[in-house]
Amino acid sequence: MTADSDEGGPAGPWPGTATTQRRDEGEIRMTVTANLDKLLDKKFEDLDLHALPNAPVDALAGVSKADAEALAKAFDVKTIGDLGRNPYIKAAVSITSLADASN
């Protein structure tokens, strides 16, 4: 499975959007465009979607430098990718999603 950019490139056809296209073995294509403006600090809004996992965790809107330092100290989380792949975060999201879905 590979990810290729759609028209407009990885940054997306509109400012603040990211576009990605997935090609599977059967050549079924899925294009996804998402506006990430509200999720990111202003200086990271134009970053390529595939570069975002390597961005510092404080690139997320609402995460301060002090928050980022605490995450690094407590969980060795330094990037958005580290946060998203952290087993404790993943467990918390899974438990919460299951609990919410069972209501």
Question: What are 36-81's pLDDT values in tens digits?
Answer: 889 999 999 989 889 999 999 999 999 999 999 999 999 999 999 9
47 and 62 housed in the same domain: no
0.85 exceeded by pTM: no
40 and 60 housed in the same domain: no
Q: Does residue 58 contact residue 34 with C-beta atoms inside 8 Å?
A: no
Domain count, the chain: 2
d(CA 47, CA 60): 12
102 and 80 housed in the same domain: yes
Residue span of the structural domain in which 63 resides: 56-103
- The pairs formed by 6-11 with CB atoms below 8 angstroms and a separation of 24 or more are 6/31, 6/33, 10/48, 10/49, 10/50, 11/46, 11/48, 11/49
46 and 93 housed in the same domain: no
